[in-house]
Structure 1
Amino acid sequence: MDTATLTQFFKYCTIINFVILAVASIMVRLDLGYNLHTKLGFWMGSKEDHRQLTYSLLGYFKILAIIFSFTPYFALCCLVP
């Protein structure tokens, strides 16, 4: 596997990860996740606790996306002339 293929792979991984992050952020902002989880009986806590938990999970996801997809893509872009 050459560096051009790896660069393309990490580029698409980065795009997919940040699209997922954007959609999840919109769902949290509109309280779609809270409404769904309370109707299905998965969440019995308060709305603020749910929002705090989802914001922290989105933060962890963003950190992992940056570390495992954006950073290798950036490094490969700097490496390939």
Structure 2
Amino acid sequence: MDLETITSFFMWCTIFNGGLLIFWSLFCLFAPNLVYRVQSNWFPMPRETFDVVIYSFIGAFKLLFIVFSLVPYLALLMLG
């Protein structure tokens, strides 16, 4: 694989994962009751626990997005 192909791959990974992170964050910000109702059908838990879990997942996803998508893409841009 050449540098352009890998850079293009990480660019699309960054766009897709960044879009997913933004969508998920906005959905939880503007419709938290809907998210809770849907998820509590599958995983019954108190609302306070759900809030901690969902925001922990968003934080973990953000860290994974930065480490495994954004940083490699930026590093490849610097190399190219």
Question: Whose helix fraction is larger, Structure 1's or Structure 2's?
Answer: 2
Distance 2:76 2:66 in 1: 14
Runs of 5+ consecutive residues of structure 2 not aligned to the other structure: none
TM-score, normalised via structure 2 length: 0.88
In the alignment, is the contact (CA less than 8 A) between 1:28 and 1:51 conserved in 2? no
1:28-39 alignment runs, 5 A limit: 28-29=28-29, 30-31=31-32, 32-38=34-40
| Separation in 2, partners of 1:79, 1:9 | 15
Structure 1 residue 26 corresponds to structure 2 residue 26: yes
Cα deviation per residue 1:25-75 (whole Å; 9 max; x = unaligned)? 12212113212122xx22322212111101001111111111111111010
Unaligned runs of at least 5 residues, structure 1: none
Q: Identity of aligned pairs, percent? A: 37
After superposition, the CA RMSD in angstroms is: 1.1
Distance 1:78 1:46 in 2: 47
Moved segments of 4+, more than 3 Å: none
CA distance, structure 2, for counterparts of residue 26 and residue 70 of structure 1? 20
Matches within 5 A, 1:1-80: 1-29=1-29, 30-31=31-32, 32-38=34-40, 41-80=41-80
